[in-house]
Amino acid sequence: MGTSRNVERRTILKAAGATAATLGLAATTGCGGDSDSSADGTVTLRYAWWGGEPRTIAIKKTIALFEKKYPKIKIKPEFTDYEAFWEKFQTQASGGNPPDVFQNAVGFLRKYDKRGVLLDLKTQADAGNLSLDNFRNGVLANGQVDGKQIGIPVGANTMALVIDLKAFKKAGVEAKFGWTWDEYFEALQTIQDKLKIAGDTGYFAIMYLYDLYLRQNGKAFFTDSDLGFTEDDLTQWWTDGYKRVKSGLVADPKKIEQVKPKSGLSAGLAASEFTWDNFSIRYEGEGESDYGLAPIPTTDGKDTGQYLGSLMLSAFAGTKHPKEAAQFISFMVHDPEVGKIMGYDRGILATTEQYDAFKPADANNKGVAAYENEVAKAGVLGKITPHPSGADVIEAAFLRLGGEVAQGKSKPADAAKALFSEAKAAFAG
């Protein structure tokens, strides 16, 4: 994840709804240095995150709120884009000097827990410095590894299908809960036949979508320590995907590349795209059509394989100020005013205090909330798939190799073999 520019572009552009200008924001207000205490007892904590300019503006407002409530704790912000964040963090962690508090994701939890970087925040919760109460839909478990609480969710999201509403309506096809993969691809074929555009922008290089497909079939992308599928499984997935590129059902990857940083969906090259539901806000700003969230296709007409993922806040195990770091995290995930400021930038707000405080006014955010509520009511949500150490490297490899298959540069079987080889090295690292 942190080593692939393609991964960074796909994730950050979507997460921030960013323009090329926004991605030019790679500023930091400091590049290290231990957190410190001044003569008057004031403590300074380093807080780092990735994301576009809108996220940075919002987070700085929340920092000001915190410092007003806790005048003896000062926050030193560090921010950049996704790829640069993890490259820098890896260097900092190796040198024993990561930020006191930082944005984190499930793909990195075991990796940095294994290296002793992450603070078990249960100790601070037991000491009364951090509340672990009022988290919605069981998302608190996303930050737990081997009985430790090493991440605290700030938001929740789930995979969704974003569709061009006008294209679907014009073609006379409907997306509905419980539809199967066969029905999905039949709908895309109708769109291709009637509208002369591709149905999908390139579904088969998205690791998290493949995870859902595997879960629908009794497997998962990861086990606690390995891959949860076979080379033959992946070869079939990529073979089917490449056939759909050749038939025009999936958009030409060269054309998708040409329109970046705009997505292929909002550029009108295809009628649908799989992504995280809270990333869907980007499309209205980029495209000229109307877009909506549609259900994930299924294998059996019921089970989507979905779960709630989340961005989190973690703390450095070696911080000189664990109490203050925990107080900061607790404020950031529970304070209602922080919820109003952040909105759904990092997903549907994770705690009831913030979820109840933020009332989305625009149709896009209302749609995201409604979608997650519908998915929850459908009773299909399961627990998040475990992510072993090395998951970030494997996600980058999956995207890269899937892209090579789409372009005809690698045969599906060869790409699958390469992924398993790279996964073996990543797990051993």
CATH code (residue 421):
3.40.190.10
pTM of the model: 0.84
Q: Are residues 355 and 393 in the same domain?
A: no
Model pLDDT, residue 160: 95
Q: Are residues 122 and 240 in the same domain?
A: no
409 and 285, same structural domain? yes
Q: Are residues 146 and 131 in the same domain?
A: yes
CA dist 342 and 171 (Å) reads 38
Same domain, 317 and 423: no
Question: Which pLDDT does position 27 carry in this prediction?
Answer: 34
Judge if 217 and 344 occupy the same domain: no
Q: List for the chain the helix, strand, coil content (%; round to 5).
A: 50, 15, 35
Phi (first) and psi of residue 305, to 5 degrees: 80, 5
Q: How far apart are CA 83 and CA 345, in angstroms?
A: 18
Q: Is residue 331 part of a domain?
A: yes
In a domain, 237, yes or no: yes
Distance separating alpha carbons of residues 37 and 41, to the nearest angstrom: 6
The reported pLDDT for the residue numbered 285 is 82
CA-CA distance, 363 to 219, in Å (whole number)?
Answer: 36
Judgement on whether residues 236 and 163 belong to the same structural domain of the protein: yes
Alpha helix ranges (H) inside 343-383: 352-357, 363-377
Q: Are 287 and 261 in contact (CB under 8 A)?
A: no
Are 166 and 286 contained in the same domain? yes
Report if residue 380 sits inside a domain.
no
Q: Count other C-beta atoms under 10 Å from residue 394's C-beta.
A: 24
Same domain, 81 and 204: no
Distance CA 142, CA 132 (A): 13
Residue 193 CB-density burial (10 A; 0-12 exposed, 13-18 middle, 19+ buried): exposed
* Per-residue pLDDT, 18: 32
Would residue 366 count as lying in a domain?
no
Please name which of 107, 49, 89, 118 lies closest in space to residue 397, comparing C-alpha atoms.
Answer: 107
**Within a domain: 374:** no
Question: How far is C-alpha 415 from the geometric centre of its chain's CA atoms?
Answer: 24
Q: Are 194 and 187 in contact (CB under 8 A)?
A: no
**Regions in the chain scoring below 70 on pLDDT:** 1-38
- pLDDT for residue 148: 97
The verdict on 289 and 423 lying in the same domain is: yes
Structure tokens at 172: 């006379």
**Count of domains in the chain?**
2
Q: Tell me: do 211 and 137 sit in the same domain.
A: no
Evaluate whether residue 274 is within a structural domain: yes
Position 371 in a domain: no
Based on the fold, state whether residues 42 and 177 are members of the same structural domain. Answer: no
Tell me the chain's radius of gyration from C-alpha atoms: 21
Count CA atoms closer than 13 A to 102's CA, side-chain side: 29
Structural domain boundaries, residue 420: 159-307+385-428
